[in-house]
């Protein structure tokens, strides 16, 4: 089993490295053609004086409302930092809370300039929108309130909740082939199942379950990550947006190099 898991990790790392390499090679080859159009969209945003950005407002610790109704969280910090660096003011941003199903469509329909709303960069999505340099590597993890469950092997023959029709199902089946999967339709239903001891654990995204642990400290995350997936800013396709993409990617790359993103992730308790 250990060899199998090691091969999975190596293949996952190789896939991520190759994907990132291909993305950057394609980007720089394109830039080298000299075909970048005049930056029509970025000057428009600068004249307007603010970004419009789609965010989550119910997803601790990425984007959620405090007791006063103000938006806060890791992705909110990122949006405000981008506004500060690209437009000169931290508050030069108007937030538009969105449901998961609308995170791409609001960009496609030009209702917002960007979406920073826990969107995983995938090949299928990249056909219709552009993605920034990843600002956080999310992962699939397991959460439990059982004190006796501290490692993956403790769940070998246990019941585990997973979101119906999610990619998490295949990952749990790979790592824990003898476990019994219980489908749920929401995070709330998963918590009810664990509270009622109907399941021993719940498998889902670390960026969400990290907030769960903050709200319900009787739970803990298992250290093993079943996968790693990049979260990126969603941007529109089109040559007119190249200057916006270039400035945004440079800013995020700088936040990574300087450790700012890692510091904010730690501040918000992200795994």
How open is the CA angle 90-229-58, to the nearest 5 degrees? 50
139-228: CATH superfamily = Periplasmic binding protein-like II (3.40.190.10)
- Residue 167: the pLDDT is 87
Question: What tokens does 62 get?
Answer: 């990425």
CB contact at 8 A, 259 and 265: no
CA distance 196 to 226: 25
CA distance 158 to 149: 10
Give the dihedral sign, CA 202/205/209/210.
Answer: positive
Per-10-residue mean pLDDT, the chain, length 271: 45 42 38 34 91 95 93 97 97 95 94 96 94 96 95 94 93 94 94 94 93 91 92 94 95 97 94 82
CA distance 58 to 62: 9
CB contact at 8 A, 207 and 137: no
Domain locations in the chain as residue ranges: 1-35, 37-135+232-267, 139-228
Instruction: Give the burial string for 81-114 (b: 16+ CB within 10 Å, else e).
Output: bbbebbbeeeebbebbbbeeebbbebbeeeebbb
**Same fold? 37-135+232-267, 139-228:** yes
- Residue 10: the pLDDT is 44
37-135+232-267: CATH superfamily = Periplasmic binding protein-like II (3.40.190.10)
Which residues, in sequence order, are CB contacts of 87 under 8 Å at separation 6+?
A: 45, 46, 49, 50, 51
């Amino acid at each position: 089993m250990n060899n199998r898991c090691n091969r999975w990790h190596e293949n996952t790392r190789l896939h991520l490295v190759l994907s990132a390499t291909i993305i950057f090679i394609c980007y720089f080859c394109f830039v080298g053609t000299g075909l970048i159009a005049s930056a029509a969209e970025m000057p428009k945003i600068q004249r307007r004086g603010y970004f419009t950005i789609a965010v989550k407002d119910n997803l601790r610790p990425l984007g959620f409302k405090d007791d006063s109704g103000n938006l806060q969280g890791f992705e909110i910090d990122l949006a405000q930092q981008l506004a500060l660096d690209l437009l000169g003011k931290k508050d030069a941003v108007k937030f538009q809370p969105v449901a998961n199903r609308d995170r791409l469509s609001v960009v496609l329909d030009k209702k917002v300039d960007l979406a920073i709303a826990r969107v995983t960069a995938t090949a299928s999505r990249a056909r219709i929108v552009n993605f920034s340099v990843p600002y956080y590597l999310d992962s699939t993890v397991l959460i439990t309130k059982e004190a006796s469950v501290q490692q993956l092997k403790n769940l070998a023959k246990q019941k585990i909740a997973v979101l119906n029709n999610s990619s998490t199902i295949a990952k749990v089946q790979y790592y824990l082939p003898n476990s019994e999967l219980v489908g749920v339709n929401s995070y709330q239903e998963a918590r009810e199942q664990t509270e009622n001891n109907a399941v021993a654990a719940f498998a889902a995204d670390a960026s969400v379950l990290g907030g769960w642990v903050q709200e319900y400290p009787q739970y803990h995350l298992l250290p093993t990550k079943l996968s790693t997936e990049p979260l990126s800013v969603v941007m529109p396709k089109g040559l007119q947006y190249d200057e916006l993409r270039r400035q945004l990617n440079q800013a995020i790359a700088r936040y990574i190099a300087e450790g700012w993103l890692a510091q904010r992730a730690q501040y918000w308790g992200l795994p």
